[in-house]
């Protein structure tokens, strides 16, 4: 009985992570009942992000500017580069204000099973950033999964010939754990105890 | 570190029922990474609903038309009127396609504690609809709470002088239960076993 517009909105919300059909319906109802305080602010915010949405050509972050706010921030220490699999991982580390350097997003991890090869990730771009100089340390902040660690080893090999210190997150990470799901305390500890790649 | 646009979007989403700050951040990230399949469809749906949003002057439902789709549907049996506290209750009953008649949304329930008086609800409008004639049965589908039942009794008194059958949902409803949270089976049973107001 709901109009096609309401149905479309419900479905669009239901596809967001963390929302199902039931909570989407409640959200739509909330939006329609609270036009000034809920619907209009969400519409404005969504429009603003949509208009400015950009992928940073330097680090692969998504933001409303290119370069992203992190790459453009002069207070960031460009000599330290933290390499992560996904944008979500960058956000998790940045949210906790744990890392004062810059980031590099690979856009995934090597996977024989899923057919993800080095050229499918932003690895050449990482090597180019390091080759350009000015980088002293590269933190390999992959997930503590088999594929994450394989990716870290592959990158370590590719960066071997450069005069940079390669480190990785301390393995206080739970085995099989996804970086993005960890609490800030665990992340902070793992980062503090980072060690050279063997 | 997130831009103000991203921060505003995160906050707007975090205020939706069922989403917190953490799931809102994940949703924003999802939207930004999936522009074509997530962000743009949501933006379009939200714009469409925002442009057409209306409160039905007949029944108090929120929809994208006024009268709402239910009031405008000629296949609906206008002789039976189901009175509910909130739009959410109407949606819950309508979603389950349980009631073939029309609805009337009060916009709340009488509450001495919260200072909600009869004139704060759409009760006069309900009496006027019944006074206009053509209504045979009024189903009082209030919540099974003290305030819901007080409201039902008050309305029953106001409608006493009209030649309509007053019924209420069978009290198979869990005591203190909110209509909107019930499964469709319970709702269907309660509606089937509805009985005259004592
Ligand atoms: Zn960047
Ligand atoms: Zn209506």
Task: Indicate whether B145 belongs to any domain.
Answer: yes
User: Are residue B41 and residue B94 in the same domain, yes or no?
Assistant: no
Among B9, B19, B69, whose Cβ lies nearest the Cβ of A45? B9
Nearest Cα to Cα of residue A38 among B19, B108, B25, B31: B19
Q: What's the average model confidence in pLDDT over A31-52?
A: 95
DSSP letters, A159-182, are HTTSS-EEEE--TTSPTT--GGGS
Closest Cα of chain A to B150: distance in Å?
25
Closest Cα of chain B to A50: distance in Å?
7
Q: What is the pTM of this model?
A: 0.76
Number of domains in chain A: 2
Residues 115-154 of A with CB under 8 A from B: none
Position A122 pLDDT exceeds 60: yes
Q: Do A23 and B17 touch (CB under 8 A)?
A: yes
- Higher-pLDDT residue of A192 and B131 is B131
Is residue B152 a contact partner of residue B144, using CB atoms and an 8 Å limit?
no
Name A190's Cβ contacts closer than 8 Å, sequence gap at least 6.
Answer: A169, A170, A171, A172, A173, A182
Among B19, B25, B49, whose Cβ lies nearest the Cβ of A9? B49
Residue B62 Cα to ligand 2 midpoint, Å, equals: 8
- pLDDT given for residue B177 in this prediction: 67
List the pLDDT tens digit at each of the 198 positions of chain B.
Answer: 567 899 999 999 999 998 888 899 999 999 999 999 999 999 999 999 999 999 999 999 999 999 999 999 999 999 999 999 999 889 888 887 788 899 999 999 999 999 999 999 999 999 999 999 999 999 999 887 889 989 999 999 999 999 999 998 776 566 666 777 777 777 777 777 776 776
Is residue B77 a contact partner of residue B100, using CB atoms and an 8 Å limit?
yes
Task: Indicate whether A57 belongs to any domain.
Answer: no
CATH number at residue B124: 3.40.1360.10
Here the tokens at position A1 are 């009985």
Position A145 pLDDT exceeds 90: no
- pLDDT given for residue A194 in this prediction: 73
Task: Decide: residue B10, CB within 10 A, 0-12 exposed, 13-18 middle, 19+ buried.
Answer: buried
Residue B171 Cα to ligand 2 midpoint, Å, equals: 27
User: Are residue A81 and residue A41 in the same domain, yes or no?
Assistant: no
User: Are residue A89 and residue A142 in the same domain, yes or no?
Assistant: yes
Task: Decide: residue B66, CB within 10 A, 0-12 exposed, 13-18 middle, 19+ buried.
Answer: middle
Q: Do B88 and A52 touch (CB under 8 A)?
A: no
Q: What's the average model confidence in pLDDT over A150-174?
A: 88
Residues 27-46 of B with CB under 8 A from A: 27-33, 35, 38-46
Closest Cα of chain B to A127: distance in Å?
24
Is residue B129 a contact partner of residue B74, using CB atoms and an 8 Å limit?
no
Q: Which residue of B has its CA nearest to A12?
A: B42
| CB proximity B76 to A under 8 Å | no
Q: What's the average model confidence in pLDDT over A117-146?
A: 94
Task: Indicate whether B196 belongs to any domain.
Answer: no
In tens, the pLDDT along A166-184 reads 998 776 666 666 777 777 7
Indicate the pLDDT class of residue A84, thresholds 50, 70 and 90. Answer: very high
Its domain, for residue A86, covers 75-168
Task: Indicate whether B14 belongs to any domain.
Answer: yes
ipTM passes above 0.85 = no
- pLDDT given for residue A176 in this prediction: 67
User: Are residue B39 and residue B107 in the same domain, yes or no?
Assistant: no
The 8-class DSSP code of residue B119 comes to G
Residue contacts between A and B (CB atoms, under 8 Å): 165
User: Are residue B98 and residue B148 in the same domain, yes or no?
Assistant: yes
Closest ligand to A87 CA?
A: 1
Nearest Cα to Cα of residue A141 among A102, A88, A85: A85
Task: Indicate whether B63 belongs to any domain.
Answer: no
User: Are residue B141 and residue B89 in the same domain, yes or no?
Assistant: yes
Closest Cα of chain A to B23: distance in Å?
6
- pLDDT given for residue A7 in this prediction: 92
């Amino acid at each position: 009985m709901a109009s096609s517009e309401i149905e479309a909105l419900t479905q669009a919300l239901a596809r967001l992570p963390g929302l199902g059909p039931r909570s989407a319906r409640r959200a739509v109802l909330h939006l329609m009942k609270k036009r000034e305080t809920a619907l209009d602010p969400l519409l404005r915010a969504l429009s603003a992000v949509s208009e400015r949405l950009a992928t940073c050509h330097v680090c692969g972050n998504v933001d409303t500017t290119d370069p992203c706010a992190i790459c453009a921030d002069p207070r960031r220490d460009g000599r330290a580069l933290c390499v992560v699999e996904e944008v979500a991982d960058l956000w998790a580390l940045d949210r906790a204000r744990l890392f004062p350097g810059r980031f590099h997003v690979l856009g995934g991890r090597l996977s024989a099973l899923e057919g993800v090869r080095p050229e499918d990730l932003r690895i050449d771009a990482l090597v180019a950033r390091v080759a350009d100089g000015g980088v002293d340390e590269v933190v390999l902040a992959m997930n503590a999964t088999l594929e994450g660690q394989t990716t870290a080893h592959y990158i370590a090999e590719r960066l071997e010939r450069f005069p940079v210190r390669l480190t990785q997150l301390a393995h206080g990470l739970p085995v099989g754990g996804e970086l993005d799901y960890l609490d800030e305390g665990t992340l902070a500890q793992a980062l503090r105890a980072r060690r050279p790649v063997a």
